[in-house]
Amino acid sequence: MSENELLEHKRHTLAHLLAAAVMKLWPDTKRTIGPAIDNGFYFDFEFTHPLSEKDFGKIEKEMRKLLPTWTSFERSELTSDEAKKEYPNNQYKHELIDEFTADGSKVSFYKSGEYSDLCRGGHVENPKEEIASDSFKLDRIAGAYWRGDEKNPMLTRIYALAFDTKEELDQYIAMQEEALKRDHRKLGKELDLFTFSDLVGSGLPLFTPKGTVLREEIHTFSQALRTSRGFQKVWIPHITKTDLYKRSGHWDKFGDELFLVKSQETTDEFVLKPMNCPHHTQIYAGKNRSYRDLPLRFLETTAVYRDEKKGELSGLSRVRSITQDDSHVFCRPDQIEVEYQAIMNMVVEFYKVVDMKFRARLSFRDSQTPEKYFGEESLWDMAQEKLETIAKSGGFEYFIAKGEAAFYGPKIDFMATDALGREHQLATAQLDFVQPARFELTYTDSDGTEKTPVMIHLAIAGSLERFLSVYIEHTAGAFPLWVAPVQVKILPVSEKHNEYGASVFATLKNAGIRVEIDDANESLGKKIRNAKKEKIPYLFVIGDKEVEAGTVSVENRDGSEGAQELSVIVKSLQEKIIARS
């Protein structure tokens, strides 16, 4: 058994222990399910009284009292009727038992100490010896619909953290505390980056001037990378007839996620576009193409719209209005490798600048669920083989994830790691043999025959909203100079220094540097504290000496740089901004 499997078994064992403690304390509780999860486990209950986190101490005490009595797990099998007797008046367990015994089979129960529960297994053999009593901690309470269905009753879910040792648990808790400080929703408000409005709607973020600077700088960088490699800007409307997505296959796969648009002039059905690729195929189809025209590279940074469930929306991480730095390459099969190499070079450069390491996930088709994918199996096999060859030749760390492919083709997803060690799927490069065929796209080859091009879908930042949710937390809001909404704050010591401060402001503004001046009648200490709360990269302090010498006193995040001539520091800042450092 691997270490990961053993930890998962410990966590599932602890879920049993949590349920045992709850049933000891509140015997009339209805228990349901309790799986292991990435950082611990949870268990869903229906209580006859309100439960709060104030009860956690009592529950944990009972769990630690029971643990020494759990020296083994005994497995038994019961018929449907026998199993239901174990859960009088518990409709949740009865529902599961009916499902598991529909074919006439028995169900398995596992017992440790005095506690027994319906379970398929996955426990440690001797909980007393294998689980440290200080390696777990109840974490929080949440509401959860039975089986995730909003039509079902709401249950009380108790989440818990569990690791192999107390040290690992403490490290995780410390990381979570740091994550709370870095939460992009919290920092977005504190740094005045974005907001939401009930009048506008859930999942539809509104970006302030400062937040818009962030968006534009990321977009500008992504666009510069693409245009330097031969991508050309295109533009498409935000609505389309449903016919486009029925042809592409998106309607069958994602029809319930689309926003419908009703026309007062025509009977045609329209939707807000949920993706851009079908539109770009129609730009390709707008004229006859030759093999000499390929590759064609289209780029666009534009919004798409998806009717996400309200309960799944979360800050900028999951929104209904999604801005993609979207690109599509139409090429011949013999050009795939060269195009992918250029894409990988762009991704490497982008994530080096934003200071995030990444590895490649080869998202492949799951042969066990062929109904999820379009296109011939032979094409998929060829495409997947090509992507793995490309990943190997690029020298990337990569892993294969079956079942993560798009319905139209396999892809290389780039998994970026943030400052807290969390992994996020951001950039992607998807190989598509299906949509060009569905739209009957062709080019005339050198021998005069009509061939079907290959399509590559590319996003470098991916969703700008999601990227920013990650990047804000990665930097803790202390953005590098090039992307910072305000790059310099001028702090006159007193009102008599405001005039010179205004001239410094004008010089910086004319030099293309984003600058603010705090000329309020406040103490210098307060001005510095406020500027540091705003996490501004450079502070220029101006007092008598600076006015007299025509200099500024410079302080960056690492400390004081001392007095400098204005022309010298301006040139230095410009060089750093251009270099995106």
Q: Which spans in 421-497 are helix H?
A: 434-438, 464-475
Tell me the CA distances in angstroms from 577 to 250, 475, 511, one per residue in order: 41, 17, 11
- Residue that is written with structure tokens 């956690």 in the block: 56
Q: Is 229 a catalytic residue?
A: no
Q: Is 268 a catalytic residue?
A: no
Tell me whether the omega of the peptide bond preceding residue 237 falls within 30 degrees of 0, making it cis: no
Q: Choosing from 157, 273, 328, 451, which is the catalytic residue?
A: 328
Q: Strand 154-162 relative to strand 136-145: parallel, antiparallel, unpaired?
A: antiparallel
Helices 166-182 and 464-475, axial angle in degrees (round to 10): 120
Residues 6+ apart with CB under 8 A from 371: none
Q: Choosing from 139, 182, 184, 324, which is the catalytic residue?
A: 324
Q: Is 250 a catalytic residue?
A: no
- Sign of the torsion angle spanned by Cα atoms 261, 262, 265, 269: positive
Cα–Cα dist 415/407, whole Å: 20
Q: Choosing from 93, 215, 457, 474, which is the catalytic residue?
A: 457
- Picking from 323, 322, 403, the residue whose alpha carbon sits closest to that of residue 361 is 403
Q: Choosing from 306, 365, 451, 474, which is the catalytic residue?
A: 306
- Residue that is written with structure tokens 């040792």 in the block: 165
Query: Do 518 and 531 form a contact (C-beta atoms < 8 A)?
Result: yes
Q: Is 457 a catalytic residue?
A: yes
Show the tokens assigned to 8. Answer: 């998962």
When computed from its CA atoms, the radius of gyration of the chain, rounded to whole angstroms, is: 29
Q: Is 280 a catalytic residue?
A: no
498: how many CB neighbours lie within 10 A of its CB?
19
Q: Choosing from 93, 123, 273, 411, which is the catalytic residue?
A: 411
Q: Choosing from 277, 365, 413, 451, which is the catalytic residue?
A: 277
**At CB < 8 A and 24+ separation, what contacts does 139-145 make?**
139/40, 140/53, 141/51, 141/52, 141/53, 144/44
Provide DSSP, 338-381. Answer: HHHHHHHHHHHHHHHHTT-EEEEEEEE--TT-GGG--S-HHHHH
Q: Choosing from 44, 139, 326, 413, which is the catalytic residue?
A: 326
Amino acid found at 313: L
Amino acid found at 377: E
Q: What is the three-class DSSP state of 478?
A: coil
Taking each continuous run of H as one helix and of E as one strand, the counts in the chain are 19, 28
- Picking from 259, 272, 275, the residue whose alpha carbon sits closest to that of residue 307 is 259
Q: Give the torsion through C-alpha atoms of 363, 368, 373, 375, to 10 deg.
A: 100
Query: Do 107 and 118 form a contact (C-beta atoms < 8 A)?
Result: yes
Q: Is 411 a catalytic residue?
A: yes
Q: Is 519 a catalytic residue?
A: no
Cα–Cα dist 480/536, whole Å: 9
- Residue that is written with structure tokens 């009592």 in the block: 58
Question: Which positions are catalytic?
Answer: 277, 306, 324, 326, 328, 411, 457
